[in-house]
Amino acid sequence: MTPPAPAWDYVVVGSGAGGGTVAARLAEGGARVLVLEAGGDPRDEAARMPGDYDVPAFHPFASENPAISWNFFVNHHADPVQAARDPKCGPEGVLYPRAGALGGCTAHNAMIFMRPHACDWNDLAALTGDRSWRAARMERFFKRVEDCRHRPGCRLLSRLGLDPTGHGWRGWLATEKALPMQALDDDDLLWLVLGAVHGELAGSARPLRSLEQLLEGRADPNDRRFAGREGLFYTPLSTRGHHRVGARERLLDAAARFPGHLAIELHALAVRVRLDDANRAVGVDYLKGPGLYRASGRPGPGPGEARFAKAGREVILAGGAFNTPQLLMLSGIGAAAALAAHGIAPRVDLPGVGRNLQDRYEVGVVNRMSRNWRVLQGARFEVDD
Alpha carbon distance 330, 348 (integer Å)? 11
| 129-167: pLDDT as tens digits | 999 999 999 999 999 999 999 999 999 999 999 989 999
Q: Tell me: domain 118-175, CATH 1.10.1220, correct?
A: yes
pLDDT value, residue 1: 41
Helices (H) and strands (E) in the chain, counts: 12, 16
Alpha carbon distance 259, 282 (integer Å)? 24
| 342-371: pLDDT as tens digits | 999 999 999 999 998 888 777 888 888 888
Integer angstrom CA distances of residue 286 from 35, 196, 235, 291: 12, 52, 39, 13
pLDDT value, residue 210: 64
| 251-306: pLDDT as tens digits | 999 999 999 999 999 999 999 999 999 999 999 999 999 999 999 999 999 999 99
Write down the domain spans for the chain: 1-111+246-320, 118-175
Alpha carbon distance 266, 268 (integer Å)? 5
DSSP 8-state secondary structure symbol assigned to residue 232: -
Angle ∠(268,105,28) on CA atoms, nearest 5: 70
Q: Tell me: domain 1-111+246-320, CATH 3.50.50.60, correct?
A: yes
Nearby residues of 68 by Cβ (< 8 Å), 6 or more positions away: 39, 40, 42, 45, 49, 53, 62, 99, 100, 101, 107, 108, 297
Higher pLDDT, 379 or 121: 121
3-class state of residue 74 by DSSP: strand
3-class state of residue 35 by DSSP: strand
In the chain, the percentage of residues whose pLDDT exceeds 70 is: 93
Alpha carbon distance 75, 57 (integer Å)? 28
The pTM of the full predicted model, rounded to 2 decimals, is 0.91
Q: What is the DSSP string of 250-285?
A: HHHHHHHHSTTTEEEE-SEEEEEEEE-TT--EEEEE
